[in-house]
Amino acid sequence: MAVTQIDLDDDVLAEVMRIAGVRIKREAVNLAMRDYVEQFRRIEALARSREHAKDCDY
């Protein structure tokens, strides 16, 4: 795993930690990034599904 130094919004980080129930900042950041990627993938899959549905003859 790479070590990266970044500036984070303390209030947002605290909110993520509270919602996720984690105590370590690294866990909160990794969880938030994974959730973001999963959400993006779901949106992409939905868009592909809609495009496929347009091509179907019901």
pLDDT at position 55 is 76
What mean pLDDT, rounded, does the chain reach?
93
> pLDDT above 90 covers what percent of the chain?
78
- Mind listing the pLDDT tens digit for each residue in 11-20? 999 999 999 9
pLDDT at position 58 is 64
Burial per residue of 13-50, b for 16 or more beta-carbon CB atoms within 10 angstroms, e otherwise: eeebbeeeeeeeeeebbebbeeeeeeeeeeeeeeeeee
Confidence of residue 42 (pLDDT cuts 50, 70, 90): very high
Q: Model-level pTM?
A: 0.75
28: nearest Cα among 16, 11, 36, 19: 16
- The full set of domain ranges for the chain reads 10-55
